[in-house]
Amino acid sequence: MAFVAFGSQAPAKEQGPSKTGRVALFLLLPGLFYLALFFITPLVSLIITSLKAPSSTGAIGRYDLGLEFGNYVYALTQYAPQIFRSFSFAVLATVIALAISYPIAYFIAVKSRNRPLLRGILLTLVVAPFFISFLLRTFAWKQIFSNDSLVVNVLKDIGIFGADSYIIGTNFAVVFGLVYNFIPFMTLPIYANLDRLDLSLVEAGSDLYASPSKTFRKITLPLSLPGVISGTLLTFIPISGDYVVASRDFLGGPDTAMIGNVVEANFLRIQDYPTASAISVMLMATIVVLVSAYVRRSGTDDLL
């Protein structure tokens, strides 16, 4: 037994020959250089663009280098409702997705631990939505909830809905769509964490006469917290920048626009690059603050 334990531990032991030098550089540099060129400098471009001033020639979509901090003030005052809405939607959708996903992750990781077939099927089903286009899925919900659809008509018939009630275009529809699309992102990290949960700890809890709910609160939940945190980040970050679900062509309406919709409209439609960039920079700054709070807790080696 001791030998088996030792063997399974071996790979986790200190691995690297301390050879730094050329090989490591050869392996690292191409990829890191790529990221520097196409991830870091674009962020710098974004900051520079966010400070540009309208071109002195007056041409639309042309801007001169500048230090127009007023762009930020303009973006904040002009788009305060959308910014506020984005973060409220993101918080709400993340919390709901967590509430829906945790029991699923728990069931797959803990309750079906000894049934590999069931577990394989359930895991496949969790990721199944990834295999059909995000946009098609969202559009399917639009049609399911459209004004003369079966769902809406039934709601009207039972009297839950008034004659001119509707779902598409409401805040409810947008949050619903966000929750739906991001359930897998929440479920997978929690599953991955609970999968490593040592069940003997739970048993110990019940041996010591703790009730099932107390064992869950005192043992399972605290141990699964890292999974909950990464699930929350993986859900919150993409939602805060999404603009497909809230788009009027999908589940949104005139009053559901989020930050992403503002950036899209300003950048790609009216070519107001500085405003679009200023909003993006502020979004990025908020996310960086959030993530660095997380990094401070767990260090950089746990990130990847």
Partner 1 sequence: MTRFSLGKYLLPTYVFLTFLFLMVPIGYTFVYSFNDSIKSNIIWRGFTLDNWLNVCDQADVCGAFGNSLLVAVTATTVSTVLGTMIAIALVRYRFKFRSATNLLLFLPLATPEVVMGAGLAAQFLDFGWTKGLTTVIIAHVMFTLSFVVVTVKARVATLDPALEEAGRDLYASPMQVFWKITFPLLLPGILSAAMLAFALSFDDFIITQFNSGSVDTFPKFVYTAAARGIPPEANVVGSFVFIVAIAIVIAVQVRSAMKKRKLLSK
Identify the residue among 80, 218, 291, 297 touching partner 1 (CB under 8 A).
291
How long a stretch of residues is the chain? 304
Identify the residue among 2, 4, 12, 208 touching partner 1 (CB under 8 A).
12
Task: Determine the distance from the C-alpha atom of residue 223 to the mean position of all C-alpha atoms in its chain, rounded to a whole number.
Answer: 22
Sign of the torsion angle spanned by Cα atoms 262, 264, 265, 270:
positive
Considering beta carbons, is residue 159 or 261 the nearer one to partner 1?
A: 261
Residue 45, φ and ψ in degrees, nearest 5: -55, -40
Contacting partner 1 within 198-257 (CB under 8 A): 212, 233, 237-238, 240-244, 247, 249-250
Distance between CA 18 and CA 57 in Å, rounded?
59
Q: Which two tokens stand for residue 152?
A: 């809406």
Binding window for partner 1 (CB under 8 A); candidates: 74-82, 153-161, 197-205, 286-294: 286-294
24 lies in the site for partner 1, by CB under 8 A:
yes
Identify the residue among 100, 223, 229, 265 touching partner 1 (CB under 8 A).
100
Neighbouring C-beta atoms of residue 188, cutoff 10 Å: 21
First to last CA, the chain: 32
Consecutive H or E run containing 14: none
67 lies in the site for partner 1, by CB under 8 A:
no
38 lies in the site for partner 1, by CB under 8 A:
yes
95 lies in the site for partner 1, by CB under 8 A:
no
Considering beta carbons, is residue 270 or 303 the nearer one to partner 1?
A: 303
74 lies in the site for partner 1, by CB under 8 A:
no
Contacting partner 1 within 123-182 (CB under 8 A): 124-144, 146, 180
Contact 49, 277 (CB under 8 A): yes
Considering beta carbons, is residue 162 or 304 the nearer one to partner 1?
A: 304
